């Protein structure tokens, strides 16, 4: 493998392409930004092609750079994952699961013990995160996300497309009166997740034109927003995976019956690891909790 470029050059190129800046790449790699520039220039000279254009606002991949980045990021991810496994040693299998926070806290964590019990010695890590991990880089083994979009090279398995609807506590409804139309929601205290975007999208799906900016408290995750609704702070958006227990107990009430579906819950893994036995078993275990989805 004498034709391989130096790993330092590949790391400099990958970081600058991903972060969009030589300077930010240098901060991550803990070297001077001139070192990053030098590594990339040498790499381009060795390849005989330009990989990055430097602009006043940062770096931008060329067409050749995009193709090269796609290939080497997968290779670097494999090296990182192999190194991590070697450091941990071969004693126990491991599975690092990234997950949308609401689903992690309210659905997956209460059920994951059955998978762990079926795999004695399994070192499982469950990390709730609002930001999808880079599976090609080995940030996680699998990602369970409320999203229809994966990263470059990721395989997707749709688990369920849940109905989305507004909920509130009985005490809040008693104080503020019933919600009988989507227009009533605009006068209600809306509880948001990290941004106002989710409510905005839901109202658009409900065919309601919103001309003014939405307001209301924002919480880091769906789980926190639903807890705020349960405590009587206003109306939050929920889906069937997250509030089944509260709806059964009456702690939360569906305030307006709709059939709106926005995004699916899907499991993602990088294509090179899609058929690894442990990931196949986890996919099957997870999918077994939901009705079969067409095309899966």
Number of residues written out for the chain: 296
Tell me the pLDDT tens digit for each residue of 221-233.
889 999 999 999 9
The predicted pLDDT at position 295 comes to: 47
Bridge-based pairing state of the strands 142-146 and 154-160 = unpaired
The CA distance from 131 to 184, in Å, is: 32
% of the chain residues with pLDDT over 90: 53
Q: Is the pLDDT of residue 89 over 60?
A: no
pTM of the model: 0.66
Q: Is the pLDDT of residue 296 over 50?
A: no
Angle 228-233-238 from CA coordinates, rounded to 5°: 50
Domain ranges of the chain: 7-87, 92-161+263-287, 164-254
Q: Is the pLDDT of residue 249 over 50?
A: yes
Domain 7-87 grouped into CATH 1.10.1040.50: no
Mean pLDDT for 56-85 is: 83
The position carrying tokens 């990721």 is 154
Domain 164-254 grouped into CATH 3.40.190.10: yes
The CA distance from 21 to 59, in Å, is: 5
Domain 92-161+263-287 grouped into CATH 3.30.420.10: no
Measured in degrees and rounded to the nearest 5, phi and psi for residue 163 equal: -70, 140
Return the beta strands (E) in 64-201 as ranges.
94-99, 123-128, 142-146, 154-160, 164-168
The predicted pLDDT at position 90 comes to: 52
Tell me the pLDDT tens digit for each residue of 121-139.
899 999 999 888 999 888 9
Q: How far is CA 135 from CA 21, 71, 106, in A?
A: 22, 13, 24
The CA distance from 112 to 132, in Å, is: 20
Identical fold, 7-87 and 164-254: no
Q: Which two tokens stand for residue 37?
A: 């520039």
Q: Which two tokens stand for residue 275?
A: 């058929």
Beta carbons within 10 angstroms of residue 229's beta carbon: 29
């Amino acid at each position: 493998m004498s034709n391989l470029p130096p790993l330092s050059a590949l790391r400099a190129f990958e970081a600058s392409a991903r972060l969009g800046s030589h300077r930010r790449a240098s901060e991550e790699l803990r070297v001077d930004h001139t070192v990053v520039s030098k590594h990339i220039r040498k790499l381009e000279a060795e390849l005989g092609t330009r990989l990055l254009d430097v602009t006043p606002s940062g770096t931008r991949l060329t067409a050749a750079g995009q193709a090269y980045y796609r290939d080497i990021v997968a290779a670097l991810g494999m090296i990182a994952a192999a190194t991590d496994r070697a450091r941990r040693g071969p004693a126990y299998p491991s599975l690092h699961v990234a997950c949308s926070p609401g689903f992690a806290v309210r659905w997956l964590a209460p059920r994951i013990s059955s998978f762990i019990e079926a795999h004695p010695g399994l070192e499982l890590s469950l990390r709730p995160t609002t930001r999808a991990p880079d599976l090609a880089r080995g940030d996680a083994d699998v990602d369970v996300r409320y999203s229809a979009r994966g990263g470059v090279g990721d395989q997707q398995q749709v688990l369920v497309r849940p109905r989305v609807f507004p909920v509130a506590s009985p005490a809040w409804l008693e104080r503020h009166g019933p919600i009988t139309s989507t227009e009533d929601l605009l006068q209600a205290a809306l509880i948001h997740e990290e941004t106002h975007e989710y409510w905005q999208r839901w109202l658009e799906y409900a065919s309601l034109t919103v001309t003014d900016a939405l307001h209301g408290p924002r919480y880091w995750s769906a789980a926190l927003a639903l807890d705020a609704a349960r405590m009587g702070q206003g109306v939050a958006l929920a889906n069937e995976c997250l509030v089944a227990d509260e709806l059964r107990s009456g702690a939360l009430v569906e305030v307006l019956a709709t059939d709106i579906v926005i995004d699916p819950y899907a499991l993602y893994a990088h294509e090179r690891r899609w058929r690894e036995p442990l990931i196949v078993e986890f996919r099957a275990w997870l999918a077994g909790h939901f009705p079969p989805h067409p095309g899966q």
